[in-house]
Amino acid sequence: MKAGLRQTRSVWGNIFVYLMLALFGAFFAFPLVFAINHAFKPLNELFLFPPRLFVQQPTMSNFQDLFAIMSRSRITFSRYIFNTVFITAAGTFGHILIASMGAYVVSKYRFPGSRTFFKLVIITLLFSPHVLAIPRFLVMNQLKWIDTYLAVIIPAFAMPIGFFLLKQFMDTVPMTLIEAAKIDGAKEFSIFWRIVMPTVKPAWLTVMVFSVLNLWSAQATNFIFSEELKTLPYALSQIIGGGVQRAGVGGAVTLFIMIVPLIVFISAQSNIIETMASSGIKE
């Protein structure tokens, strides 16, 4: 949005905006503030009754404990981190590529079956992973993908939610843009890759955030059984499961696992704002 457009807002308008932001912001930030404070609480404060929101005597001992436990684990901890990073990166990249290719043609091309397929995707959005866990396991078993990365990565490619979001955003891309590219002699794939994808960058960044969130927190205990292929959230949840004395470590773990999706979002969201100004949707 260009400067000068919204400059007319009055002082009271500004006060209203900031007041609303402060009010809602406090709501939204409460769990994070709680989690951060938790991570730094010494053990005696953690079990204080009634509980307090803010830490009185912050300590790093929770993190020291966490790293001590990590270094003692049977499989080096970097292996768990690698597993999760690999699954997240591969799954997200593949999902964005495949889902946006599909979404592009459903949105902009007419061919038999495309509408029906989209309706089918919307319907399947409603299926809970719990309900599908058993049949899905059997499919994986048939494919001999049990206990491999593939069992987690490949289904992530076909997540219907990303397809749905991308298709809706691509509907807003003007057809004239694509036609113009076609007249200039662009091939099908280069229209998709060099015209449509940059235009809907905010959409796939949103999908990216969503997918990273999903995969980063995947415990994947249904499909992966060998210890050296297990994911970080699984390893961390094992650490927390150790009993009451691990309560402080639990706070540290929560903070640790929250931080990556948060960073991904913060870096993506500045981009979401930037792209629209230069996108070409402008008439």
Partner 1 sequence: MSENPQTQINAGQPKKEKKRNFLSQKYHNLDFQKKNAIAGYLFISPFIIGFLVFMFLPILESLRMVFSEVTMDLENNRYDMVFNGLSNFYYVFQTDPEFNRLLTEELFRMLLSVPAILVFSFFVAMIINQKFKGRSFVRSVFFLPVILSAGVMLGLETNNMLLGEMRSYVQQNNAMTNTITNVLEEILISGGAMDEFLYYVIQVVNEIYGIALTSGMQIIIFLSGLQTISPSMYEASKIEGATAWESFWKITFPMISSLILVNLIYSIIDYFLRSDNTVMEKVTSEIAKMDYGLSSAMAWAYFIIVIIIVGISAGIISRRVYYYE
Site for partner 1 in 34-73 (CB under 8 A): 34-35, 38, 46-47, 49-53
Q: Which of 133, 190, 194, 278 binds partner 1 (CB under 8 A)?
A: 133
Give the count of residues interacting with partner 1 (CB under 8 A): 122
Q: How far is the CB of 87 from partner 1 (least distance, A)?
A: 14
> What's the CA gap between 98 and 204, in Å, rounded?
11
Stretch that binds partner 1, among 17-25, 65-73, 77-85, 222-230 (CB under 8 A): 17-25
Angle subtended at Cα 106 by Cα 192 and Cα 155, rounded to the nearest 5 degrees: 90
Number of helices (H), then strands (E), in the chain = 14, 0
Q: How far is the CB of 122 from partner 1 (least distance, A)?
A: 7
Is the CB of 93 or the CB of 137 nearer to partner 1? 137
Q: How far is the CB of 59 from partner 1 (least distance, A)?
A: 15
Q: How many CA atoms lie within 13 A of 147 on its CB side?
A: 5
> What's the CA gap between 60 and 44, in Å, rounded?
14
Q: Minimal CA–CA distance to 169: which of 262, 113, 96, 269?
A: 96
Q: How far is the CB of 221 from partner 1 (least distance, A)?
A: 10
Is the CB of 63 or the CB of 104 nearer to partner 1? 104
Chain positions 200 to 229 lying near partner 1, rule: CB under 8 A, are 202-203, 206, 209-210, 213-214, 216-219
> What's the CA gap between 103 and 171, in Å, rounded?
9
Could you say whether residue 126 binds partner 1 (CB under 8 A)?
yes
Stretch that binds partner 1, among 70-78, 84-92, 222-230, 245-253 (CB under 8 A): 245-253
Report CA-CA distances (Å) from 257 to 75, 196, 237, 250: 19, 34, 11, 11
Is the CB of 11 or the CB of 244 nearer to partner 1? 244
Is the CB of 25 or the CB of 60 nearer to partner 1? 25
Q: Which of 63, 77, 80, 104 binds partner 1 (CB under 8 A)?
A: 104
Q: How far is the CB of 20 from partner 1 (least distance, A)?
A: 6
Could you say whether residue 18 binds partner 1 (CB under 8 A)?
yes
Name all contacts of 258-265 with Cβ < 8 Å and 24+ positions apart: 258/32, 258/35, 260/212, 260/216, 261/209, 261/212, 261/213, 261/216, 261/217, 264/208, 264/209, 264/212, 264/213, 265/209
Q: Which of 15, 32, 60, 68 binds partner 1 (CB under 8 A)?
A: 32
> Dihedral, CA atoms, 87, 93, 97, 102, nearest 10 degrees?
40
Could you say whether residue 11 binds partner 1 (CB under 8 A)?
no
Interface mask toward partner 1 for 160-189; x: CB under 8 A: xx-xxx--xx-xx-xxx-----------x-
> What's the CA gap between 70 and 88, in Å, rounded?
21
Is the CB of 89 or the CB of 122 nearer to partner 1? 122
Report CA-CA distances (Å) from 41 to 64, 245, 275: 13, 13, 41
Chain positions 75 to 94 lying near partner 1, rule: CB under 8 A, are none
